[in-house]
Amino acid sequence: MNAFFATFKVGFKFLWKSPVSVAILIAFPIMLIFILGSALSGYISADIELDPVPVAVAAEEGGAFRSFLQNPDIAPFFDLTYTSRAEAAALSEKGDVVCAVVEREDGSLEVLSPPGSGFSARIALSVFDSYQRVGAAFAIRGPEGGDIPGFSVEDMPLGKRVPNATDYYAVTMLVMILLYTGTNGTELFHKGMLSDTGSRAQTAPVTKPVLIGGLLAASTVTSFLQGMVTFVFTGVVYGVYWGERIPLVLLTLFAVVLFSQAFCIFLLLLFRSPGAVNGTVQAIFWVMTFVSGGYTKVSFGAADAVFQYVPNAMAHTVIFGSIYGGNEAKMGLYLAILFGLGLVFYIASFLLGRRRLA
């Protein structure tokens, strides 16, 4: 264990003194200041990013739900028609609006949408999904089904916090940042195993798994801590709401770190050049962030069914779900896939490393 902790310590120090690592630590929060700051000041505002969604509303005038819809964070998302319950259902059935929202006497909501529209299913999946498709205001959760034949009905308690643009970008950008910290693993693994320094360490009476384990632990802990700096930063500076299930959010972020480390080390063993790996992941992670809606609302039609399994998209879904409520089974599945992807790339790296490090 002496050698493991020695390797961990030297790797940890190496990364915190590495220009690349420090750049990640400083550059990404600065980037977030720009992005989130822009989001807050309206340069990346909801009404630019999202088309207002036509929705019929049957709610008591001056009541809680109408007040809720007048919230400036919410109003730009929707083109609202206030009407009666029957008229709202009719508008929805005719397709003049994407759905009708009816306020019940007990203050809960019914969302009515025609079957086969695909809308109710989309909105019910997660807040993240609803944000992309119809705006963030309806943080609707729970299984599909309804008490009115032919319509989907979901319940949402009033007063539930809904994500604004800043909350949205804080999640998507943090996931992206954690992916890029995989380059920590690239840099450290190259130094500690593949360079002359690594060769010298391998002439010591230490097994390769101990050396590799120490290096991986150092890069994983460093990357996670760097992510936490940004995590805290978004909460303190921009008041981003991370929900009440912080351990689940952190576990998801940890899964992203593990995946990115494994993926980058796999690429390093493949290319043998940290520069080539960094160039490759710059492109790959940018595309992954884009197709998963990290930068802006985007739809690829049928391809969306595939893109929901992009690591970013899965992480977004789990985190948004943990904050605002989402399909627990799906969140569990995505989290398992994220950890599984990390494991797959670690195994692939191990198999490749047996040849490369021989």
Partner 1 sequence: MVAVMENIVKRYKAHTALDHMNLTIQPGETLGLLGPNGAGKTTAIRVLTGLTGADAGNTRLFGAEMRGAALAVKRRIGVVPQDLALYEALSARDNLNYFGRLYGIRGAELKKRVDEVLEVLGLSDVAGKAPKKFSGGMKRRLNIGCAIIHKPELLILDEPTVGIDPQSRNHILDFVEGMTKQGTTVLYTSHYMEEVERVCSRVLIMDAGHVIADGTVEDLTKAAIFEESVTLEVRENAPGLCESVKKVQGVQRCEADGRSLSVTSAAGSQNLARILECAAPYIILSVAAKRPTLEDAFLALTGKKLRDTGGEGQ
Find the binder of partner 1 among 72, 200, 247, 302 (CB under 8 A). 200
Minimum CB–partner distance for residue 347 and partner 1 (Å): 21
Q: What is the DSSP string of 97-119?
A: SSEEEEE-TTS-EEEE--TTSSH
Nearer to partner 1, 66 or 208 (CB): 208
Measured from the Cβ of residue 316, the count of other Cβ atoms closer than 10 Å reads: 29
C-alpha angle with apex 258: 270 to 122, nearest 5 degrees? 110
Nearer to partner 1, 6 or 221 (CB): 6
Picking from 190, 335, 207, 346, the residue whose alpha carbon sits closest to that of residue 274 is 190
Nearer to partner 1, 64 or 351 (CB): 351
77 within 8 A of 50, measured Cβ to Cβ? yes
Minimum CB–partner distance for residue 128 and partner 1 (Å): 40
Site track for partner 1 across 14-33, x = CB under 8 A: x--xx---------------
The answer to whether 64 contacts partner 1 (rule: CB under 8 A) is no
Minimum CB–partner distance for residue 205 and partner 1 (Å): 4
Nearer to partner 1, 18 or 260 (CB): 18
The answer to whether 10 contacts partner 1 (rule: CB under 8 A) is yes
Minimum CB–partner distance for residue 179 and partner 1 (Å): 24
Residue 170: both structure tokens together: 């804080």
The answer to whether 199 contacts partner 1 (rule: CB under 8 A) is yes
Minimum CB–partner distance for residue 7 and partner 1 (Å): 8
Find the binder of partner 1 among 37, 52, 107, 197 (CB under 8 A). 197
Q: What is the DSSP string of 306-346?
A: HHTTSHHHHHHHHHHHHHH---HHHHHHHHHHHHHHHHHHH
The answer to whether 204 contacts partner 1 (rule: CB under 8 A) is yes
Minimum CB–partner distance for residue 224 and partner 1 (Å): 21
Q: Which residues contact 350 (CB under 8 A, 6 or more apart)?
A: none
Q: How many residues bind partner 1 (CB under 8 A)?
A: 26
The answer to whether 2 contacts partner 1 (rule: CB under 8 A) is yes
Q: Which residues contact 68 (CB under 8 A, 6 or more apart)?
A: 74, 158, 159
Q: Which residues contact 88 (CB under 8 A, 6 or more apart)?
A: 56, 57, 58, 81, 97, 100, 101, 102, 112
The answer to whether 203 contacts partner 1 (rule: CB under 8 A) is yes
192 within 8 A of 11, measured Cβ to Cβ? yes
- Kindly state the greatest CA–CA separation across the chain: 80
Nearer to partner 1, 204 or 343 (CB): 204
Find the binder of partner 1 among 206, 228, 248, 251 (CB under 8 A). 206
The answer to whether 272 contacts partner 1 (rule: CB under 8 A) is no
Find the binder of partner 1 among 57, 69, 88, 201 (CB under 8 A). 201
Find the binder of partner 1 among 3, 225, 228, 344 (CB under 8 A). 3
Alpha helices in the chain (DSSP H): 2-16, 19-41, 46-49, 64-69, 85-94, 119-125, 127-134, 165-180, 182-189, 196-202, 208-238, 246-271, 274-291, 304-307, 311-324, 328-356
Bridge partners (DSSP) of residue 53 are 78
Which residues bind to partner 1, rule: CB under 8 A? 2-3, 5-7, 9-10, 13-14, 17-18, 191, 195-197, 199-208, 358
